[in-house]
Amino acid sequence: MACFQSLAVCCAGLLLGWPALIRAAEPVAARLLVDNKGDRTMSIIDPVSNQQIAAIPENGVTGHEVVASPDGRRAFVPIYGNSGVGKPGTDGRLIRVIDLEKLAIVGTVDFGRGVRPHCPRIGPRNGLLYVTTELDQCVTIIDPGTLKILGTVPTGQPESHMLIISSDGRRGFTANVGPGTVSVLDLELNKLLKIIPISKNTQRISISRDDRWVFTADQTKPQLVVIDTAKQAVARRIELPASAYGTDVTPDGRYLIAALPGTNQAGVVDLSTMTCVRTIPVPPEPQEVLVRPDGTVAYVSCITSQQVAVIDLKTWQVSALIAAGKGADGLAWVSAR
């Protein structure tokens, strides 16, 4: 009888999952996602025509960042609130789930209280959704299928604003803005390993393709701080023409692209010499950088101009400007499959 029940449950699971299996075989087009915190919308961009296909209302005040599911069919947008980091304002408590085919919200994670959820990431090995929840001083782990909260990882610091995860999924690193620190997290044991002092204030975070270096931008000086991930300590500081914000590394690991809001530029750092080798003019107040997986272009969101600059990584020039929404900020990529 027990075997029969197990078989019935198994068959039922297969039947329930069958439409999803059929749907998963359908093609997914490459897309660029842009979170517009001024409009409270998420733009879907066709990267071939560099045109906005749709702007989806998020029904919340206000989202900053976005991540796409591995199958490219959904986007997750934490609703942070209407304040700046560490400043008075509303405390967001939701994550919106947007269907990229239906162009609509199809689910919501509700934390039940204000936690200021901000930076979402997908675990590269386990496929779980990780999101910084600043007011709880932790990273919250969510099942992206059931939208159930599975647990948390303490960061030991307030204002854990941005998160990056190593390619093996074992380590997480948060940029803690006000304290000016980086927390090192064990994502297998869900515990805090170390807090690394950076400066009086830091912003954004990225990681090298080989997981050897983590980069965060000192907000008190025009420099990028480089953390040795093996030693869990600051290894060096890279001088820049101006203070940086968002950064990303090219797929070949050769260069890091940094947004420089103060000078309306993108800086290019040669990672073999750890020096800034060129700057590229972009529209006012560049925020976030996303290098396309094929390594051909870098996208830079420019919050004041409501645009995304497209930088050709062969010519090192802006090849196009994409019209997005008001307050264009967070970026995410959906790969074609």
Looking at the domain assignment, is residue 45 inside a domain?
A: yes
Q: What is the pLDDT of residue 25?
A: 54
- Are residues 64 and 95 in contact, defined by beta-carbon separation less than 8 angstroms? no
Give the residue, 139 or 7, on which the prediction is more confident: 139
Task: Tell me the average pLDDT across 214-233.
Answer: 98
Q: What is the pLDDT of residue 1?
A: 39
**Does the pLDDT of residue 3 top 90, yes or no?**
no
Q: For residue 326, which of 33, 32, 36 has the smallest C-alpha distance?
A: 36
CA dihedral 100, 106, 111, 117 (to 10 degrees): 20
Looking at the domain assignment, is residue 330 inside a domain?
A: yes
Three-class DSSP category at 107: strand
Element (H, E) at 7: helix 2-24
- Are residues 64 and 303 in contact, defined by beta-carbon separation less than 8 angstroms? no
Query: The CATH number of the domain where 196 resides is what?
Result: 2.130.10.10
How much of the chain exceeds pLDDT 90, in percent? 91
Q: What is the pLDDT of residue 130?
A: 99
pLDDT digits (tens, 9 = 90+) for 79-99: 999 999 999 999 999 999 999
pLDDT digits (tens, 9 = 90+) for 20-44: 433 445 789 999 999 999 999 999 9
> 15 pLDDT band (50/70/90 cuts)?
very low
Looking at the domain assignment, is residue 37 inside a domain?
A: yes
> 271 pLDDT band (50/70/90 cuts)?
very high
Task: Tell me the average pLDDT across 293-313.
Answer: 97
pLDDT averaged over the chain? Answer: 93
Looking at the domain assignment, is residue 5 inside a domain?
A: no
Task: Tell me the average pLDDT across 49-53.
Answer: 97
Task: Tell me the average pLDDT across 277-283.
Answer: 98
Residues ≥6 apart with Cβ < 8 Å to 77: 35, 42, 58, 63, 65, 66, 95, 96, 98, 120
The residue range of the domain holding 139 is 29-334
Looking at the domain assignment, is residue 21 inside a domain?
A: no
Total structural domains within the chain: 1
Q: What is the pLDDT of residue 26?
A: 77
- Are residues 163 and 139 in contact, defined by beta-carbon separation less than 8 angstroms? yes
Element (H, E) at 11: helix 2-24
Task: Tell me the average pLDDT across 94-118.
Answer: 98
Looking at the domain assignment, is residue 19 inside a domain?
A: no
Task: Tell me the average pLDDT across 313-327.
Answer: 98
Task: Tell me the average pLDDT across 116-134.
Answer: 98
Task: Tell me the average pLDDT across 151-170.
Answer: 98
User: Which amino acid, 182?
Assistant: V
Looking at the domain assignment, is residue 10 inside a domain?
A: no
Looking at the domain assignment, is residue 23 inside a domain?
A: no
